[in-house]
């Protein structure tokens, strides 16, 4: 009997991991320049944390959480996103009492019981940032500009930045009633799900993917027109700062996003080319100035984003993975195998990656495998090489060979690996 993986959950194998490392290290590199520090929070939190922060009438909370019961009535949930857990950690550790401005980033798996398809999984990986203690709008603009910089660094150029503002509590209350009034006479045109949300959470109707709902909201009132006072100043300040930076953006008054904790600035970065289809949102985020307080903390403005790493890897499909150069060590015979063990250890101690083929196969089969692995060099040691304290170094791309003394090994191999190109793909 063979076990299948859990639906929507994937293995990442060593031949794919190089691209993950490169993406993750590019993310760390870029956000470190902006002085974000890494936070690691648990994969499990109390269910109530997500219900309170993400919102009871959101898809994530209504249908997508992996939740299980523990004894004594405790209910735990696999984190569907990172913002709620980060805010909880910020409060648990009383970070606000030590620093007025906090910049955190995280990388890791998230869990949502969605219908899996290309770019949508039940276990997926996000990289995200959260800033606490800055009301903006300069930090909002800086964050968007950082995201554009990041996408360019990882080779994703076809990306559009969509922004909107949903104002503060009062603006949203005004907008909710305007939207409900607009939608009520059209209720029969809406999907059943949207109709059920009409009175409880009408903003969610704007976010629906159902064609009937999309058609019904085309003429819906714009929330941007309802912004007043500080909400309007914040929005205009954001546009001014983006213009000053020269960051391109598109204003999308229909953008509301699927989580209830947002206020004022909202944004999404979408891939405009490639094979992602409907799942082309690479990154989403926004301000959530009310969340920390609603979780029992002090009034703390906050803004953040998260990006889906699987989707970025799909969007960046054309970018080749850089392989760390390595050599294959091919010993022939028992005594050569023992010498090879020590040679491999010395090479590794000098920082050189070595694949020791100690299975006792023929030279031909070891060379074939070295070629298939796209190794740069194959080091062959037989009895005569052991006797003369040398190795045969075969350059697999150039089809040349040279004898190198064991005593010269780490240095000489290091030089050769640095100068020999990898064999071409498919060679
Ligand atoms: P979100 O829009 O739910 O926002 O997710 C952010 C990104 O995660 C999406 O744009 C997408 O790239 C990726 N993503 C979401 N669900 C899946 C899935 N099932 N499979 C693959 N990728 C997925 C948040 O999670 C917020 N916490 C972002 C945030 C941070 N807002 C403020 N701070």
Write out pLDDT tens, residues 173-197.
999 999 999 999 998 999 998 888 8
86 lines ligand 1 (CB under 6 A): no
> Rounded to whole angstroms, how far apart are CA atoms 213 and 211?
5
- For residue 259, the ligand 1 atom closest to its alpha carbon is 3
Residue corresponding to tokens 């903006």: 136
- pLDDT tens profile 232-248: 999 999 999 999 999 99
pLDDT of residue 324: 77
305 lines ligand 1 (CB under 6 A): yes
Residue nearest to atom 21 of ligand 1 (CA): 120
Under CATH, domain 14-167+227-315 is a member of which superfamily?
Bira Bifunctional Protein; Domain 2 (3.30.930.10)
- pLDDT tens profile 24-72: 999 999 999 999 999 999 999 999 999 999 999 899 999 999 999 999 9
Q: What percent of the chain has pLDDT over 90?
A: 80
Is 417 or 165 the better-scoring residue by pLDDT? 165
User: Does the pLDDT at position 427 exceed 60?
Assistant: no
From residue 8, alpha-carbon distances to 20, 98, 114, 169, 209 in Å are 19, 41, 8, 36, 20
List, in sequence order, every beta strand (DSSP E) within 142-258.
Answer: 159-165, 250-251
Residue 353, both tokens: 């990656």
pTM (predicted TM-score): 0.89
306 lines ligand 1 (CB under 6 A): yes
- For residue 257, the ligand 1 atom closest to its alpha carbon is 2
How sure is the predictor about 204, in pLDDT bands with cuts at 50, 70 and 90? confident
Count of CB atoms situated within 10 Å of the CB of 209: 8
Residue 128, both tokens: 């995200």
Count how many Cα atoms sit within 13 Å of the Cα of residue 179 in the half-sphere of its side chain: 32
Residue 130, both tokens: 């959260």
- For residue 126, the ligand 1 atom closest to its alpha carbon is 8
Domain 326-418 has CATH 3.40.50.800: yes
- pLDDT tens profile 108-142: 999 999 999 999 999 999 999 999 999 989 999 99
Domain boundaries, the chain: 14-167+227-315, 326-418
Count how many Cα atoms sit within 13 Å of the Cα of residue 185 in the half-sphere of its side chain: 4
DSSP 338-380: HHHHHHHHHHHHTT-EEEE--S---HHHHHHHHHHTT-SEEEE
310 lines ligand 1 (CB under 6 A): yes
pLDDT of residue 236: 97
* Mean of per-residue pLDDT scores for the chain: 93
* CA dihedral of residues 131, 136, 139, 141 (deg, nearest 10): 130
pLDDT of residue 426: 44
pLDDT of residue 322: 65
282 lines ligand 1 (CB under 6 A): yes
120 lines ligand 1 (CB under 6 A): yes
10 lines ligand 1 (CB under 6 A): no
Burial grade of 382 (CB within 10 A; 0-12, 13-18, 19 or more): middle
Ligand 1, pocket-test mutation among 58, 81, 132, 276, most atoms within 8 A of CB? 81
Which residues fall within 8 angstroms of residue 176, CB to CB, at 6 or more apart?
202, 203
Q: Which residues pair with 108 in a beta bridge?
A: 126
- pLDDT tens profile 257-298: 889 999 999 999 999 987 777 789 999 999 999 999 999 999
Phi, psi angle pair for 219, to nearest 5°: -100, 10
Q: Please give the distance, rounded to the nearest whole angstrom, from the Cα atom of residue 75 to the centre of ligand 1.
A: 23
Q: Please give the distance, rounded to the nearest whole angstrom, from the Cα atom of residue 284 to the centre of ligand 1.
A: 6
130 lines ligand 1 (CB under 6 A): yes
- Please work out, in degrees rounded to the nearest 5, the angle formed at the alpha carbon of residue 280 by the alpha carbons of 276 and 284: 150
CA-based end-to-end distance of the chain: 38
Q: What is the mean pLDDT of residues 216-222?
A: 90
402: left (phi over 0), alpha (psi -120 to 50) or beta: beta
Residue nearest to atom 14 of ligand 1 (CA): 308
Ligand 1, pocket-test mutation among 284, 307, 309, 316, most atoms within 8 A of CB? 284
Residue nearest to atom 2 of ligand 1 (CA): 284
């Amino acid at each position: 009997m063979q076990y299948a993986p859990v639906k929507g959950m994937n293995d990442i194998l060593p031949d794919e991991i190089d691209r993950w490392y490169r993406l993750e290290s590019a993310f760390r590199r870029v956000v470190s320049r902006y002085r974000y520090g890494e936070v690691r929070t648990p994969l499990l939190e109390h269910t109530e944390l997500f219900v309170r922060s993400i919102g009871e009438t959101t898809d994530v909370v209504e249908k997508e959480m992996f939740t299980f019961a523990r004894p004594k009535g405790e209910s735990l949930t696999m984190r569907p996103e990172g913002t709620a857990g980060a805010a909880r950690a910020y409060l648990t550790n009383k970070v606000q009492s030590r620093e007025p401005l906090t910049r955190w980033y995280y990388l890791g798996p998230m869990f949502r019981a969605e219908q899996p398809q290309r770019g949508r999984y039940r276990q997926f990986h996000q990289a995200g940032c959260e800033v606490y203690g800055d009301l903006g709008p300069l930090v909002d603009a800086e964050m968007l500009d950082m995201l554009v910089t990041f996408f360019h660094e990882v080779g994703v150029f076809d990306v559009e930045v969509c922004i909107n503002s949903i104002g503060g509590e009062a603006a949203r209350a005004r907008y909710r009633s305007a939207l409900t009034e607009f939608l009520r006479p059209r209720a029969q045109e809406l999907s059943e799900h949207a109709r059920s949300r009409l009175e409880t959470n009408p903003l969610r109707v704007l976010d629906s993917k159902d064609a009937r709902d999309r058609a019904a909201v085309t003429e819906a009132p714009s929330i941007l027109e309802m912004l007043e006072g500080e909400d309007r100043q914040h929005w205009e300040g954001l546009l001014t700062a983006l213009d000053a930076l020269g960051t391109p953006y598109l204003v999308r008054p229909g953008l509301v996003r699927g989580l209830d904790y947002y206020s004022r600035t909202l944004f999404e970065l979408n891939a405009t080319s490639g094979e992602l289809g409907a799942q082309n949102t690479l990154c989403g985020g926004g301000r959530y100035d009310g969340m920390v307080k609603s979780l029992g903390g002090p009034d703390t403005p906050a803004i953040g984003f998260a990006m889906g790493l699987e989707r970025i890897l799909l969007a960046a499909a054309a970018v080749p993975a850089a392989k760390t150069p390595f050599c294959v060590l091919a010993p022939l015979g028992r005594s050569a195998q023992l010498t090879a063990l020590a040679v491999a250890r010395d090479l590794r101690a000098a920082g050189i990656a070595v694949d020791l083929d100690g299975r006792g196969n023929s030279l031909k089969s070891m060379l074939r495998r070295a070629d298939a692995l796209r190794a740069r060099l194959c080091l062959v040691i037989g009895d005569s090489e052991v006797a003369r304290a040398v190795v045969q170094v075969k350059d697999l791309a150039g089809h040349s060979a040279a004898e190198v003394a064991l005593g010269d090994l780490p240095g000489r191999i290091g030089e050769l690996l640095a100068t020999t190109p990898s064999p071409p793909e498919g060679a």
